[in-house]
Each structure stands twice: as C-alpha cells, then as structure tokens.
Amino acid sequence: MKLAARVGQVSPSLTLEIAAKAKAMKAQGIDVCSFSAGEPDFATPAHIVAAAQKALDEGKTRYGAAAGEPALREAIARKLKTDNGLDYTAENIIVTNGGKQSLFNLMLAAIEPGDEVIIPSPYWVSYPEMVTVAGGTSVIVPTTADTRYKITPPQLREAITPKTKLFVLNSPSNPTGIVYTPEEIRALAEVVVDADIWVVSDEIYEKLLYDGAQHLSIGAVNPEAFDRTLVSGGFAKAYSMTGWRLGYLAGPADVIKATIKIQSHATSHVCTFAQYGAIAALESPESAPCVEQMRQAFDKRRHVMFERINAIPGLSAPKPDGAFYLYINIADTGMKSMEFCNALLDEHHVAAIPGIAFGTDDCIRLSYATDMASIEKGIERLEKFVGSIG
C-alpha cells in the first residue's frame, strides 16, 4: 500500500520504543533498571477498582454517550471548580481515552493548514506530532536550564505571529518536572490575552507537587484568560490509572462540542464501566490519602535521585518540583542523547529516555516512578558509565 504522506511526517513515540526494548531485555532475564516509564509503579487504589467492578456487575457494559457518562462529566466540572477555581458545567467537558486523546481531539478540532502552534521545548513527545497530524505547524521555542526550562513572557510574545492559533502549556512538566509559579502563569496569561490566542493547559501532573510548589491553572487567572483556555487533564498519573485510558478536555462549549463530534467517529467514548472508576477517583474521600501516599513516595525518590545525579561529575539537573522526572544535561560527556541512552541500556542495563524525543539532544530524562532499590542500583550503574566515558 502507498501510505499517506502524513505517516512519513510523524515519528514513532521514542519513549514507548525504549521502554519496549528494556522490557524485552528483562524478558530475556537481564536485570534492567528502568527509568524510562512515564507511569506510576503503584497499583490503582482498591476503592477505584471496586467502583469499576461494581459498574461491571451492574451491567454498565453498553454504549454510552460520546461525551462521556453524564455523572462523570458533572464530577469533572465539580473538580475543576473546587480544585482549580474554573467555572465549568458538564457541557464544557468531554471524557476522552486518556489525556492523549483529549489533546489529539483538540488539535483535530482546532488546527488546520497554516495554523501555528507554539510549543516550548523540551516538550512532551506527542505535542508536535499531533500538530503535524492535524496539518498545522509547530513553532518550537527552546528553553534552557537557566530559566528552569520555562518559557518567558517575552519569548512567548516574540513567537506569536498573525498565524498563531494555540500555545501549549504543560505545568508540572513532562519531561523536566518543573512547575511554573502562579506569578509566571499570570504573566503568560497576560501575553495570551493581549495577543488574543488560545492556550491549552496540560495539567495531568497537577497533583504531584513538591517543596510547596503551587499549581495555578492559567484559565483561573481572569475571565479573559478563562475564555481562551482549554484544560487537558487525566487520571493516569495522579491515581495510577495509566491503563484505564481516562482523561478529559474542558473549555468553551462550542469547542468541546466540536471535539465530541470528532470523537464520536473515532473511539465513540471511554469504556463505560471504567468511567465509574473515574467517578470514584474524583468523589470518594478515600482518594486523597491514596494520592498523598504516592506523592510522598515520589518525593523521597526525587530527593535521592536529584542529590545522587548532581553528585556525578559531568551530569547536572535542575531540582524538579512536580511530576516524577529528572531532566539531566549530559553535554559534558560529549555524547548525544540517543548514543548515550543506547550505550547505557546495552552496556549497563539502565533504561533512560533520550532528550531528542523532547526536542533537546543534550539531555536525558529519568523517571523516578520506580522503587528505591532500583533507583540506587541504576544510579550506581549510570555513575560507572559516565566515569568510563571521560
């Protein structure tokens, strides 16, 4: 078959590829320390599993509404009001197959050839690829460790052209683990409103904050920002529900309606009984202590990984205050990220993600969503590897 041109323009997900290679090595009996996975290593909390099981027992196994179960849309609207100060009702919400489909739906609904989408780098792997599939143009704005990998308001302003449609903001960030302060969010909102562009705020890591970092949703800054904001969220990271495929997009009703139309011809809706697990995640009083327990475990690992990595000559990383990643500069080793990660995996059995996947070839990403013993062992191996390069 002659494949469509867009296939050639899209790259496969490097993160999934390296994770698969590490998994295959493990299956061969090799003791691999894996820092590649972008998913919590905990089981989904039992009360969430029980809620989905109950829905299954009750026969919630039929087709539902494309936009999602009404009770879940309402629960998400309540959550956005309570947690984020965003005034939405159920008609402002679409339930999607993960945060990924939420963003994908949006790109298809909003972006057409000629439209520019501003994406600060390092970025989550899928943003530019989604823009490409939608036929738009990504405008990558490089950031550095000097600004803790945050785009500054002047940088944003400079990147805006008459063709700019959308700005993609991700805080806490994957891959850097960095959280924008409320002041920084307010300053970016001012640029968005001034230039009259749209912003999609990917807030999937909003519950994973450390060192007193605060999460402010850009839509909560003022009514003008609210009118130009789409919020993308999901259940995978905070509730350890990666395989459930549950996310959502919130925004103006006409935009959400357009995404529902698109989704209704693609996946229809999220697995019906899974959505009842999501309702429990949002509404059960048992959820907060579970989330907090996982957050504290991540926090401990974060400290260990940050201290140990920065003690290795040739490596440096800013201290993350959100998510579960450390973004490490490897420029001093003289290696590019792909070469570095392949050698690290092949020779020392440590899986890390090359920064090139996130738009910066002099960095690698380590996830600390893995147990402490693997972190200790993996960092020892990494240290040996870096020591052998010089």
- Identify whether the C-beta of residue 239 lies closer than 8 Å to the C-beta of residue 45: yes
Pair 227, 27: CB distance under 8 Å:
no
Q: How far is CA 200 from the centre of its chain?
A: 12
Shorter beta-carbon distance to ligand PLP: residue 69 or 202 = 202
Site for ligand PLP in 324-343 (CB under 6 A): none
Q: Closer to ligand PLP by CB, 132 or 170: give it.
A: 170
Contact between 34 and ligand PLP by CB under 6 A: the answer reads: no
Task: Find the binding residues for ligand PLP in span 170-209 (CB under 6 A).
Answer: 170, 174, 202, 204
Q: Does 121 bind ligand PLP (CB under 6 A)?
A: no
Q: How far is the CB of 138 from ligand PLP (least distance, A)?
A: 15
**Site residues for ligand PLP, window 250-279 (CB under 6 A)?**
none
**Which span (97-105, 151-159, 216-224, 291-299) binds ligand PLP, by CB under 6 A?**
97-105
Residue 247 makes contact with ligand PLP by CB under 6 A: yes
Stretch that binds ligand PLP, among 139-147, 230-238, 252-260, 362-370 (CB under 6 A): 230-238
Q: Least distance (Å) from ligand PLP to the CB of residue 97? A: 7
Q: Exactly one of 169, 236, 260, 290 binds ligand PLP (CB under 6 A); which one?
A: 236
Q: For residues 105 and 272, which CB has a smaller minimum distance to ligand PLP in the complex?
A: 105
Please report how close the Cβ of residue 175 comes to ligand PLP at its closest, in angstroms.
8
Query: Shortest Cβ contact with ligand PLP: which residue?
Result: 98
Nearer to ligand PLP, 207 or 308 (CB): 207
Tell which one of 128, 219, 234, 354 touches ligand PLP (CB under 6 A).
234
Interface residues for ligand PLP in 35-94 (CB under 6 A)? 38
3-state secondary structure 169-182: EECCCCCCCCCCCH
Pick 148 or 308: Cβ nearer ligand PLP: 148
Nearer to ligand PLP, 193 or 278 (CB): 278
Our finding on whether 100 is near ligand PLP (CB under 6 A) is: yes
Nearer to ligand PLP, 138 or 242 (CB): 242
- State which residue, 45 or 99, has the beta carbon closest to ligand PLP: 99
Parallel, antiparallel or unpaired: strands 350-351 and 33-34:
parallel
Of the pair 44, 333, the CB lying nearest ligand PLP is at: 44
Instruction: Based on the shown chain and the rule CB under 6 A, indicate whether residue 124 belongs to the binding site for ligand PLP.
Output: yes
Cβ-based neighbour number of residue 38 at 10 Å: 21
Number of residues that bind ligand PLP (CB under 6 A): 14
Residues 152-171 that bind ligand PLP (CB under 6 A): 170
CA-based nearest residue to 206, from 323, 99, 125 = 323
Residue 134 or 193 having the CB closest to ligand PLP: 134
Residue 131 touching ligand PLP (CB under 6 A) = no
Q: Does 359 bind ligand PLP (CB under 6 A)?
A: no
Q: By C-beta, is 124 or 340 nearer to ligand PLP? A: 124
Do 167 and 318 contact (CB within 8 A), yes or no? no
Return the closest-CA partner of residue 281 out of 218, 214, 217, 233. 233
The rounded distance, in Å, linking the Cα atoms of 362 and 343 is 15
Binds ligand PLP (CB under 6 A): choice among 45, 99, 128, 320: 99
The residues that touch ligand PLP, with contacts defined as CB under 6 A, are 38, 98-100, 124, 170, 174, 202, 204, 234, 236-237, 242, 247
